[in-house]
Amino acid sequence: MELSEISKSEIEQEIQQSFEGLVEASKALDATRYFEFIDAERFVGLNADGTNWNSIVGLRELVEPGFNAVEKVESLIFTNVRISVIDLNTAILVNEYEQKILLKGGTHYKEAGGGTQVWSKASGKWLLVSISASSKP
């Protein structure tokens, strides 16, 4: 069954809202809220260093200490976001970002990169089932 343009647009808006919630949780350094956007049962992904996250455990081991090491997110800007709707329950979001943070201890850190996110509505709400991350040199 083919999706109508109205259905695609509605799904894109729902994904955009979920993505914005994820971004706000990241800016707030709120790991609990961040993980509310991830399907803990189905999650797998690819870290920017080329290693797999074969479950939510690996992502938690990166995100939680990372958030705890940051004093403040000075800026987190997404310069290019595109959502591609696959079907009623699946969409892919690709993005490019730039981020400036202040680490505890006073060090300023700047990074940029991109990501691919697979969103699924199999559980009744849009959740991330996969993330692939990359870093710009």
pTM: 0.92
Domain of 127, in residue numbers:
5-135
pLDDT at res. 2: 73
pLDDT at res. 47: 94
- Here the CATH number for the domain that contains residue 83 is 3.10.450.50
| CA 82 from centre of chain | 13
Overall number of domains in the chain: 1
pLDDT 10s digit of each residue in the chain, 137 long?
A: 578 887 999 999 999 999 999 999 999 999 999 999 999 999 999 999 999 999 999 999 999 999 999 999 999 999 999 999 999 999 999 999 999 999 999 999 999 999 999 999 988 899 999 999 999 98
18: number of Cβ within 10 Å: 21
